Amino acid sequence: MHKKNDEEWLAEVQELRTQLEEAQETLNAIRRGEVDGLVVSTPKGEQVYTISGAEKPYRALIEDMREGAVMLSDDDTVLYCNSGFAKIMKNSIEKIVGLNIESMVCPTHLLALRKLLTLARAQKSAVTKEITLQANGDILVPTLMSINSLQSDTLNNTFLVVTDLTEHMEKEVKRYTNELELAQIALSESEQRWATTLASIGDAVIAADISGKIKFMNNVAEKLTGWTLVEAAGRPVNEVFNIINEFTRKTVDDPVTKVLEKGTIVGLANHTLLVRKDKTEIAIDDSGAPIKSKNCKTTGVVLIFRDVTEHRKAEEALKMSERKFKSLADNAPDVIMRFNPDLRVTYLNPKVKVATGIPSEQFLGKTNEEMGMPRELVEMWNDMFRKSRESRQAQQREFDFPSPNGLKTFDLRVVPEYDEKDALISFLGISRDVTERKEAEEKLEEYASQMERLADERAAKLKDAERLAAIGATAGMVGHDIRNPLQAIISDVFIAKCDLEKSSACAEKDSVLECLSEIEKNVDYINKIVADLQDYSKVLKPVLKEIDLEPFFNDILFKNSIPKKIDVACIVDGQAKTIMADPDLLKRILTNLISNAVNAMPNGGKLALHAFKEKGDIRVTVQDTGVGVPDEIKPKLFTPLFTTRAKGQGFGLPVVKRMTEALGGEVTFESQVGKGTKFTIRLPPQKLRSKMGESR
């Protein structure tokens, strides 16, 4: 007999796992109520049964399915169960019916069952949880129980679908245990081969000895826990495999201890999080099993777990999508109708009654002609059905309909629907009331010329907005990609100047020092461009502090290196000596204004800074005797990217404006060509700014 090698074993294991996952996915779809009907293969071919029209075959399906099916009364008495449930409980149907469901549940799971029943009846939707039952003979049976509640005026029943997990869990654990035993045998021949085999498993694997100390971890386990095998070896499992409940945040019982105590397979409860070494958390699903020697003695424990974060996200997204779709369908403003291939109505939404004044149930099972629809509309519908059937594409038309609220115009769209075998199964008709839209279109035509003009204006503004958006998007990149090399240049220039200072004096030394000084000036200029760009694009959040303006002004003037040919005057009135403002923003404002003033006086002049109080406000003026601003340029002075200088980016004054407004103030200016310019920064009263600063 051919002896399978490791790769063949792993391939077979993977195939079985795929089949199990597909079966589980199909079963979950049934539990979630996603099945609208059944397709049953018969000697006469495939027969389609809907839930509403196939009670007998559906009941037969329930009787024959492997899963247990149970119906409870409102006091949890078993009213009905199928043979599948009787088999799970190892008892007869006659003995089960009439019992309270709690009498068949493991005592440790009673509270969980009660909560699950309460939740299902409150939500009126399916809830699922693993519950251990106590079968005849006190045999514990792990199950997956899905509970749904059906309530009406006369009924208040609860339905259970019970899946026996014993075989699944035994197969799953047996599969991993066999792999581990094979690896242990191979270890005697080659430790590397053993480790490589386990490392190739797609799930995370941790093996521990009888004392609960880690002996092995595969690569997936290392990745999920954040611990390497070298770090984890010899440590207690619960130190590396630290698991908590997602909602209570309490530590979950150590599965290794449970396995060693019970000597059986142990699975984690739902909503379990693994706390990784770096304290981040991931959702996991796992099981643990004892490692048995040939004489059936427990020699250790194997934990198998996987990251279910993406799966959980997908499930949540699906649930959210289903809720949104249901809400949309229930509240759709359109009239929605579904016809079978014989053109008889099989579904209508509540909007039909609003449009026609006739209850929806009076349309079901009838054709448009049988519903008494006007002859011309019947012909229109039939023509759209025919064309959509022939072209296999949607058809769309508008028609007028005499509704209870007067003549209405509807936009009708007929869509053919096909099954997975590409067979036509129905037509979907969606009618939207477009009466108001048609009236609005007529009114809009009267304003066409005006809208065109407004559109042109909006387009021009949008173009400017897109340009500013591009500035904002590139601001972060510029700050990183330009400032890093600039910092290196500054450092190199500093080192070079230090080295030159130590060398002997000569003409070459002075020339090089002059070049280095020019480099520093240009680097400062580039830094200023980057700062302006970032300041203009970022969100400003002032941090208010008390500022003594006189030393504050002197520090700014000192750092700006005012040329000697410019006379500087700095005056701070007594009432304006201190102010509440963000020192960084105020420094940038004054630095930009002083820089502009200096650039406006290439041949020298006078620069004056004056702080004073007027009408409760603090006003700071920066005045120069430079070239002045021409009248045609004044309206554009605070426009981004507008500049009259050959060496400028047009951000200085827009940044000044933004920062001043962020401080709750405003900036204005006066200028005459040939006489100079005066900028005035008005800031709110000191007392008011103090309260604003505290509120932040």
Torsion angle of the four alpha carbons 420, 425, 428, 429, in this order, in degrees rounded to the nearest 10: 160
Residue given tokens 């009331």 in the structure block: 433
Tell me which of 36-40, 492-496, 566-570, 665-669 is least confident: 36-40
Superfamily name and number for 6-164: PAS domain (3.30.450.20)
Residue 361: which pLDDT band, with cuts at 50, 70 and 90? Answer: confident
Q: What is the mean pLDDT of residues 302-330?
A: 76
Q: How many CB atoms lie within 10 A of CB 466?
A: 10
User: What's the pLDDT score for residue 605?
Assistant: 92
**Residue 381 CB contacts under 8 Å (≥ 6 apart), including other chains:** 343, 368, 373, 414, 429
pLDDT classification of 390: cutoffs 50, 70, 90: very high
In this structure, what token pair is assigned to residue 385? 């059905």
Break the chain into its structural domains and give their ranges.
6-164, 169-314, 336-443, 448-532, 539-695
Domain 6-164 and domain 336-443 have a common topology: yes
d(CA 91, CA 71): 17
Residue with tokens 């611990």: 227
Residue 310 has pLDDT above 80, yes or no: yes
Q: What is the pLDDT of residues 340-354, one digit of tens each?
A: 999 998 888 878 887
Could you tell me the two tokens for 499?
Answer: 């080295």
Q: Mean pLDDT over all residues of the chain? A: 79
What's 394's DSSP letter? -
> How distant, in Å, are the alpha carbons of 205, 388, 446 from that of 16?
19, 44, 70
Which tokens hold the place of 74?
């409102």
Q: Could you tell me which CATH number the domain at 169-314 has?
A: 3.30.450.20
| DSSP for 241-259, written as a single string | SEEEETTT-PBPPPHHHHH
Higher pLDDT, 443 or 473: 443
Rounded-to-integer distance, Cα 76 and Cα 117, Å = 9
Long-range contacts for 612-615 (Cβ within 8 Å, ≥24 apart)? 612/571, 612/573, 612/575, 612/576, 613/573, 613/575, 613/576
pLDDT, position 474: 62
Percentage of the chain modeled with pLDDT above 90: 19
362-376: average pLDDT? 86
d(CA 108, CA 651): 71
Element (H, E) at 64: helix 55-64
Separation of alpha carbons 207 and 315, rounded Å? 30
Spatial separation of the C-alpha atoms in residues 413 and 397, rounded to whole Å: 7
Checking if the pLDDT of 526 tops 70, the result is yes
- The answer to whether residues 623 and 608 touch, using CB atoms and an 8 Å cutoff, is yes
Calpha distance 545→579 (Å, rounded): 8
| pLDDT at residue 16 in the model | 63
What per-residue confidence (pLDDT) applies to 190?
47
If you write DSSP's letter for every residue of 321-385 in order, what string do you get? Answer: HHHHHHHHHHT-SSEEEEE-TTS-EEEE-THHHHHHSS-GGGTTT--TTTTT--HHHHHHHHHHH
85-89, 281-285, 429-433, 496-500 — which one is most confidently predicted on average?
Answer: 85-89
The Cβ-side half-sphere exposure at 205, using a 13 Å CA radius, reads: 24
pLDDT above 70 as % of the chain: 77
**525: closest CA among 408, 652, 410?**
652
Question: Strand 605-614 relative to strand 566-572: parallel, antiparallel, unpaired?
Answer: parallel
pLDDT above 50: residue 628: yes
DSSP secondary structure letters along 302-313: EEEEEE-HHHHH
Q: Amino acid identity of 596?
A: N
Residue 16: strand, helix, or coil:
helix
The CATH number of the domain covering residues in 336-443? 3.30.450.20
Q: How far apart are CA 442 and CA 459, in angstroms?
A: 25
Architecture of domain 539-695: 2-Layer Sandwich (3.30)
Is the CB of residue 169 less than 8 Å from the CB of residue 267? yes
DSSP label at 264? S
Is residue 134 classed as helix, strand or coil in its secondary structure?
A: strand
Helix (H, G, I), strand (E, B) or coil at 603: coil
Among 167, 162, 172, which residue's Cα sits nearest to residue 286? 172
Residue type, 1: M
Pairing of strands 272-275, 78-81: unpaired
* Largest separation between any pair of C-alpha atoms in the chain: 115
Query: Using one digit for the tens of pLDDT, what is the confidence trace for 57-72?
Result: 666 777 877 889 999 9
> Could you give the CA distance from residue 239 to residue 256 in angstroms, rounded to a whole number?
12
Q: Closest Cα to residue 160, out of 116, 194, 122?
A: 116
b (16+ CB within 10 A) / e for 162-196? bbbbeeebeebbebbbebbebbbebbeeeeeebbe
